[in-house]
Structure 1
Amino acid sequence: MRLVRHPVLCNYYVTYRCNARCSFCDIWEKPSPYIQLADVEQNLRDLKRLGVSVVDFTGGEPLLHRQIHEFVGLAHDMGFITTLTTNCLLYPKYAEKLRGKVDMLHFSLDASEKEVHDKGRGVACYDFVLESIRVAKELGERPDILFTVFRENLPDLEAVYRDIAQPNGLMLIINPAFEYNSVETGEQLSSAELDYLSAFGKKRGVYLNEAFIQLRKDGGNHVAAPVCRAASTTLVISPSNELVVPCYHLGEQKFPIEGRLHDLYHSPEVGRMIALEGRLPQCEGCTINCYMQPSFAVEINKYFWQALPSTLKYNVQKGTWKRMLTR
């Protein structure tokens, strides 16, 4: 049964450019412009009309955009829940300007040892993560540690939790890696390793969407009976001010927004693409967290019930439920 029939999330790509070279991502290979403030202002107004509640300013590396603090500030003041994930290379520079404007601030950290983390990210950023934690705490911010899990770094999870997240009073978010297009993430986690993650996710100060684990055990999305609701729950806006449908990772079609996001989303052309969400050939076996997370939140099924406890746990511990009540 569908609970919510309007989009709830916007993945707003401020640029595809990135100052890291992560082995599990290809976005940094793309040429890219930067979004414009006038477009952001108009699109946020339309997102509000469409019923969107969360705006994730993403990239690339979002802090490469010199106006990023203006974007998140505008969205925050309009009542959106704002999120931003950074590799931390530029966070100390922008920290003061971002203060109080990002509801869910995520610092990426995938290993407990500097050499291992920096190798995976293709650039020396481990020390910047630790410095960013210090700076954020001094400013009264409450960032999360976002740990992207692969088979090769699974043994590091405990050390990051014990030595970095817990001593600093930070939430540890477990983000199971996913494959898309030609990007490979190594050998897939076994059933036993997925069970280990499930148990770890129950620790104090740890967030893991349990539905991610079940989806992987089920072989991902299946086109015959799709669980993915990417296009109907999530709007993807490109740095070129295009609506990308059904999702960034497939990017089947791109529609110029031209100041008419609300009407464009309800147009027949976009509607036909929304109807294909989770049903395209490349959707078979998909486990992309960015779109499964909102998909699990809008429809009552087994994934909804598995996702609910961890979602409540995160929002209670972070206090974001207060923002949701005042929207």
Structure 2
Amino acid sequence: MHELIVSPFLGNHLVVRPGSPKGLKVPKHRYLELQQAAEADGAIPGWLHKPVLRQWGLDLRGQNARPALLVRDTVSHEYGRASYEVNMACNWECPHCYLGLKEDTGMEWSDRELLLYLLRDAGVLWLQLTGGEPTIDRQFPAVYSLAYELGMMIEVLTNGSRLHNPLLLSLLTERRPYRLTLSLYGATEESYDRLTQRRGAWKAFRRGVDAALEAGLPVELSVIVTRDNEHEIDAMYDLARSLDVRTREYNNMTPTYFGSGETLSAQALTRGGQRGVFTGCDAGHTSLHVDPLGMASICKVARDKQLPLLTEGLDGLSKLGGIADQALLRQGGCSGCQLSEQCSTCMPLAQRYRQANAPLGSYCQHTPKEVTTA
């Protein structure tokens, strides 16, 4: 099993290690040297030994390039990152979930296998596996294993409820993700079970996060702040500190990806509304999203124009850039707004808010008097 991945990445060449967010940048001629060593199963070049030992404490002296190095080929497309929605099913029923109705949908293994090869050949090095709850999918272990074998650095977004399962824990320990991001929905059993609408959810989460940390897996917490748990904000951060893990906070409730607004009632009263200025993103150009049925879109939010990736193949990805450029143009109530360069919400998300008939203040940080048109 490979210790390091050597890969082109958006015009650069990286050396990365499964289970670690760190990396090394190498010039093209060094990448080609590593590629030749792997093809010939020769010795790992000496110049790589010291930086790898310094970065990861890994001693490569005396090792051949195979199987220690997995060297990925140069590709014609440069989609360095992707998210793959393994399923839309979930064992929780959180009222704020942007998926809305969570259906148990997904492809047969042969189609999932083809999808992962297509993502690899599109240049995807960093892959996020999400859902729904991806770990309840019966094919999650196979999907995860193949993505790992193809040389992808994997992040799993999960509620953590299945991480105590010995088979799953063994998979993640032997083939380490660079990040496990667990959603935190409360600091007590009462609030956690109430928000997820599942009795026993808190206990399952605690078993999962404790098992993952005991196994030394790279855990981070997404602190989800809603109307139901905002009274426990400080306690949730106290819990994260006691676990000694990094956190990110999510407190802006959004409509579902198809524009229904039932999720907005979960908005916390004391949190939310503060977003940084939207300065653009790489969606559709160097990153993409794929849903459970293999439909590719520029991101998780903008699914108005999707491509059947399995039938259109890599050639179809060339259309995503144009779709992205069109989707990000100011339109509807925002077209002509003189404050658009200060806006904090991307247009695809603003469109979802409009479809949900949400109040202007939920997605526009400007007061009505400030909003002017040319």
Instruction: Please give the TM-score of this superposition, normalised by the length of structure 2.
Output: 0.60
Cα separation, partners in 2 of 1:26 and 1:227, compared to 1, 3 Å: closer
Cα separation, partners in 2 of 1:119 and 1:151, compared to 1, 3 Å: closer
Q: What does 1:284-299 correspond to in 2, within 5 Å?
A: 287=345
Partner residue, 1:21: 93
Question: Gaps (5+ residues) in structure 2?
Answer: 1-9, 12-76, 335-342, 350-374
Q: What does 1:267-306 correspond to in 2, within 5 Å?
A: 267=319, 270-279=320-329, 281=331, 287=345
Match of 2:131 among 43, 48, 59: 59
Q: 1:19 and 1:28 mapped to 2: Cα distance?
A: 14
State yes or no: 1:127 paired with 2:203.
yes
Q: CA deviation at 1:37?
A: 3.2
Match of 1:105 among 145, 169, 180: 180
Find the residue that maps to 2:93 and give its secondary structure: coil
Q: CA deviation at 1:16?
A: 1.0
| Amino acid across the alignment from 1:182 | S
What value does the CA root-mean-square deviation take over the aligned residues? 3.3
Partner residue, 2:291: 238
Q: 1:119 and 1:263 mapped to 2: Cα distance?
A: 46
Q: What does 1:135-146 correspond to in 2, within 5 Å?
A: 135-146=211-222
Partner residue, 1:46: 118
Q: Give the structure with the higher percent helix.
A: 1
Cα separation, partners in 2 of 1:172 and 1:271, compared to 1, 3 Å: closer
Q: CA deviation at 1:26?
A: 4.7
Q: 1:280 and 1:121 mapped to 2: Cα distance?
A: 36
Partner residue, 1:265: 317
Residue by residue, what CA displacement relative to the aligned partner does 1:157-181 show, whole Å, maximum 9, x if unpaired?
321222x222222222222333132
Q: 1:117 and 1:189 mapped to 2: Cα distance?
A: 15
Residue by residue, what CA displacement relative to the aligned partner does 1:64-103 show, whole Å, maximum 9, x if unpaired?
2122122222222323221112223322223223323322
Question: Gaps (5+ residues) in structure 1?
Answer: 195-211, 292-327
Provide the identity percentage: 21
Match of 1:182 among 245, 260, 271: 260
Find the residue that maps to 2:95 and give its secondary structure: coil
Find the residue that maps to 1:119 and give its secondary structure: helix
Moved more, 140-149 or 253-262: 253-262
Cα separation, partners in 2 of 1:108 and 1:261, compared to 1, 3 Å: same
State yes or no: 1:84 paired with 2:163.
no
Instruction: Please give the TM-score of this superposition, normalised by the length of structure 1.
Output: 0.67
State yes or no: 1:156 paired with 2:232.
yes
Q: CA deviation at 1:155?
A: 4.3
| Amino acid across the alignment from 1:115 | E
State yes or no: 1:96 paired with 2:170.
yes
Cα separation, partners in 2 of 1:283 and 1:178, compared to 1, 3 Å: farther
Q: 1:250 and 1:282 mapped to 2: Cα distance?
A: 15
- Where relative contact order (Cα < 8 A, 6+ residues apart) is larger, the structure is 1
- Contact 1:14 1:62 survives alignment (8 Å): yes
Q: CA deviation at 1:13?
A: 1.0
Q: CA deviation at 1:248?
A: 3.1
Q: 1:119 and 1:188 mapped to 2: Cα distance?
A: 15
